[in-house]
Amino acid sequence: MALGTALGLALTVPGTASAHPGGPPAKVPVATGWGGAVSSVDADATRIGLDVLRRGGNAVDAAVATAAALGVTEPYSAGIGGGGYFVYYDARSRTVRTLDGRETAPARMGKDTFLDPATGRPIPFDQAVNSGLSVGVPGTPQTWQTALREWGTTNLRAALAPARELAERGFVVDQTFHDQTAANAARFADIVPTAKLFLPNGQPPVVGSVFRNPDLARTYDRLGRAGVDWFYRGDLGREVVRTAQRPPVTPNATRVFRPGLIETDDLARYRVLDRRPTRIDYRGLDVYGMAPSSSGGSTVGEALNILKTADPRTQDDVTATHYYLEASRLAFADRNRYVGDPAFVDVPLRGLLADGFAGERACLIDPDHAAVSPVPPGDPKPPYDHDCTATGTPEATEPTEGLSTTHLVTADRWGNVVSYTLTIEQTGGSAITVPGRGFLLNNELTDFDFAPLTPGVFDPNLPAPGKRPRSSMSPTIVLRDGHPFLAVGSPGGATIITTVLQVLTGRLDRGLSLPAAVAAPRLSQRNGAATEVEPGVPGPLRTALEQRGHVLKDNPEIGAAAALEFLPNGRVQAVAEPTRRGGGAAGVVHSDR
């Protein structure tokens, strides 16, 4: 998606899509050089982040500007109607800091909110998604302001200015934007402002046309001038509440959009949380991730701890893949049983990331045979006796989590690094656009388990007032000797965890370059009956895994990573997807070329 060059466009109707003689700009998946780097799924967003770095901004300034641009060009995955997790390496103090900007449940939400009162059973999932009921209190605006205030060099107004201009001028529609709109057209058509914005003339925007969002441009302009209090304590917040409580449904809507529970007091109470990151030692490297309410740092960390009990130098490709899948299977069993919002659940994080617990879990891996899912969770409390017997009750069902979201990484000339994952949950969120404001509201509360996964067994992820739903977002930064080495993350719901894990093991254990590790065909095992595999997984590897008992299920696309690596002599390499999700865009301030 690209910034339109036809600057003479005069129409200001939201969703205007005009013919454009050129196509979207070419996306470069790998860029190497110095002076700073940006990688995201979108060429406009990456360009904007690089411009910030060239003007002297730091990695935090560039990350916020890039994220705001993604709210324009990737509105079905990100925006100020959602939330996310921000991981930051500060070069001066050599520390990693994290911000939990996850959405929260309204005060009126209870553990039975997603149950049908007549039957006591969960309501249909699509009725939860397409409703105000699933709208959580957004955390993205406060995340941006907090990150800039704590670590940035500019203010919110300046950081939003390039994205505001992008929304006003427009970007060239690519195939991915068109296809995502078409896939959501039926539900978008049920909401008046959503249909008006994203379905001009009743149809998805044509590939090659210029899509403009002047409503969002005005929203960014006012947000930059007024600050986030306009969102959390002002008129914009009241508009968000009114829209969620009474979704602006068309008279001929084919769906029932349930009213939301969010109130203005919920917005006023919202706080971004400065959390201590997760950290593990992996083969002499420090791997930092996001602590609960995300399950990303704990689950990636536990799986890596399990994998480091084996020597990758002794493993062929089949055995290495088998161990990766089994480590992920075991870590997901523990994630589903123990991880939730730590304000409501006593998450045994220290135990989940203990080497002793990893050894206990690793001894359950049969080198020749896959386990049958669901495997039961382990007991992360010491002492660890390594008796190699599985105990506990496995989860009866697998949690549901939306597959959208987006990720970006930035680095600056001083060595600061950001790994930032943000989302509105499903592709297109709740499908509800705030009238006249140009952004969609999230459906993040569907990340809660609607009912206990296993009857009679404690579930850490049931809804509660003010609670943050468990997430799989896994923004990760890897340090070597206290200095940044890698940063990576991905969208993809629960497959985020396996995507990040596979990229890390590909780069750190299997001798792949970072571009090759990102591009490699993916497999995802999440303690489910089947392992999902992309079409590019070689036939001989598939056959060998099936011979070890793995049940394989095709998935056309898993994740869409963005990453960077620090190279010798002060150089940096930015890496994006070459093909997944239409391919990503990587860039550096000064290219080797």
Residues annotated as catalytic are: 405
- Give strand ranges (E) for 437-510: 476-480, 483-489
> What residues contact residue 514 under an 8 Å CB cut-off, 6+ apart?
486, 503, 507, 563, 564, 565, 573, 575
Structure tokens at 40: 């995201």
Residue pair 144/68 in contact by the 8 Å Cβ criterion: yes
Distances (CA, A) of 483 to 112, 338, 570: 47, 32, 12
Backbone angle region of 202, left / alpha / beta, with phi > 0 → left and psi within -120 to 50 → alpha: left
Helix or strand run (H / E) with residue 160: helix 156-169
Structure tokens at 303: 């799986």
Helix ranges restricted to H, 339-464: 349-352, 355-362
Environment class of residue 304 by beta-carbon count within 10 Å: exposed (0-12), middle (13-18) or buried (19+)? buried
Query: Angle at CA 151, nearest 5°, toward 148 and 155?
Result: 30
| Token pair 């088998």 in the structure block, residue | 322
Q: In the sheet that 523-524 helps form, which strands lie side by side, from edge to edge?
A: 523-524, 531-533, 552-554
Structure tokens at 546: 């099936």
Report the SS3 class of residue 348: coil
Structure tokens at 118: 């007549």
| Token pair 């907090």 in the structure block, residue | 146
Structure tokens at 580: 């997944």
Determine the length of the chain.
593
Structure tokens at 213: 């969002």
Largest separation between any pair of C-alpha atoms in the chain: 72
CA 177 from chain centre, in angstroms, equals 18
